[in-house]
Amino acid sequence: MVLLAAVFTVALGLPVGVLLFLTRKNGILPNRTLATVLNTVVNVGRALPFVVLLIALIPFTRLLVGTTLGSTAAIVPITLGAFPFFARIVENALDEVDRGRIEAVVSMGGNLWHIVSRVLLPEALPALIAGITLTIVMLIGFSAMAGVVGGGGLGDLAIRYGYQRFDNQIMAATIVVLLVMVQVIQKIGDRIVRSLAYRR
């Protein structure tokens, strides 16, 4: 559930984040209308508590996947709840890229695709990987909360067999597994970021 949600979150959040960077007032391709729409979507998505979004998206989830129960259904609200967060991370990561490099590509006749694919994304890659790591850790928390509405996963296990049956051992085991997952993912992400920074 977390893996698929992470893939979809990056697939949605990356282009939205790039567009946020390109279309803002001082961007490479300023477009006030598009920038306003994208900023509104991202800000609303980040402002809504995930549990509220989870419940509000039940009709849309049922329409999209045919059910609101199980891990497959939970991927929909998890992705829609996380991609605005990742989009903002992408925008901030691209903001750190040296403007001189962008100007150099433009002076050599580079087009928008060259700027994005050969300057912005490669230069921002360590920050993007750090952002993906942070997002995956957040997705683990989201997936646990999805258990509240029958989303499956560790959250469902903790609620159904731990909380509802008053089994503290299952609750404790679930917490330990979640902590281990977060620690492992964070260490892997940090190692990749350090490796990329060292190569630069």
Q: CATH number, domain at 127?
A: 1.10.3720.10
Question: Range of 90's domain?
Answer: 1-198
CB 144 within 8 A of CB 158: yes
DSSP string for residues in 41-76: HHHHHHHS-HHHHHHHTHHHHHHHHS-SSSHHHHHH
Amino acid making up residue 28: I
The answer to whether 57 and 73 have CB atoms below 8 angstroms apart is: no
CA gap 42, 67 in Å, rounded: 26
Comparing 70 with 34, the larger pLDDT belongs to 34
Under the banding of pLDDT at 50, 70 and 90, the label for residue 47 is: confident
Separation in Å, CA 55 to CA 9, 17, 51:
19, 26, 6
Tally of domains within the chain: 1
**Alpha carbon distance 51, 57 (integer Å):** 10
* Tokens linked to 117: 């694919």
Report d(CA 193, CA 21) in Å as an integer.
22
Model pLDDT, residue 148 = 67
Helix axes 71-95, 32-47, angle to 10 degrees: 130
Burial (CB count <10 Å: 0-12, 13-18, 19+), residue 181 = middle
For 74-124, what is each residue's pLDDT tens digit? Answer: 888 899 999 999 999 999 999 988 888 888 887 887 788 888 888 899 999
Residue 6: pLDDT band with limits 50, 70, 90: very high
